[in-house]
Amino acid sequence: MALKLEPGARLVVATHNPGKARELAAILDGRFTIVTAGDLGLGEPEETEATFSGNALLKARAAADASGLIALADDSGLSVAALDGAPGVYSARWAGPDKDFALAMRKVEERLDASGSEDLSAWFTCALALAWPRGPAVVVEGRVDGALTFPGRGDKGFGYDPIFTPEGERLTFGEMDPAAKDAMSHRARAFAKLKAAVL
């Protein structure tokens, strides 16, 4: 089986978040018919892995095998050098059940203060996995390096965007227009790699 996505293929996106599914569909240029794991009534597997790629693969594999369709999943987050890569794969979990990223960003600042380190280096990672039912999977990662910025600035992004300034930029991800962020984001880089591999 060749690892190619034919135009018109039906893809299941391993998310229960319709906003995220729409966003992924847009990135894929409308070339595919997209259904979500939620649409199909699929469960959400536990994210047991210690790496972004591992979790993306786990989610794509589960959705593909349960649906019989080619499945796309992502996993992404913020890693802070002075915190040995935390929150990393726990980025969403630091925000708690209410997805309170103001809380999560305070936690990053507190841990950094407690560490005594002055190193503000941080990076966002996005892993994407595309899995064929009971077949192979393709996994890619995109990464963007930058610096933590306190206090956070901007309300255009989501998650940890207000406290992250990409290398060579003056604006935080929270201050950037979506198009500017999309031109350099970890997610954009991951999609570029995925498209190069399978389209």
Kindly give the residue spans of alpha helices, DSSP state H, lying in 35-177: 52-67, 101-115
Closest CB 145 distance from a copy of itself, rounded Å: 14
Q: How far is the CB of 4 from a copy of itself (least distance, A)?
A: 9
Euclidean distance between CA atoms 117 and 107, whole angstroms: 15
Could you give the string, one character per residue 16-55, with x where binding to a copy of itself holds by CB under 8 A and - elsewhere? --------------------------------xxxx-xx-
How many residues contact a copy of itself, by CB under 8 A?
23
- Does residue number 73 form part of the binding site for a copy of itself (CB under 8 A)? no
Does 137 contact a copy of itself by CB under 8 A? Answer: yes
CA dist 3 and 131 (Å) reads: 10
For 81-155, where are the E strands, in sequence order? 121-131, 137-148
Distance CA 15, CA 34 (A): 11
In single-letter form, the type of residue at position 13 comes to V
Strands 10-13 and 33-36: parallel
Q: Is 126 in the site for a copy of itself (CB under 8 A)?
A: no
Applying CB under 8 A, which of residues 78, 139, 163, 176 lies at the interface with a copy of itself? 139
Residues that bind a copy of itself (CB under 8 A): 1-3, 48-51, 53-54, 57-58, 61, 135-140, 193-194, 196-198
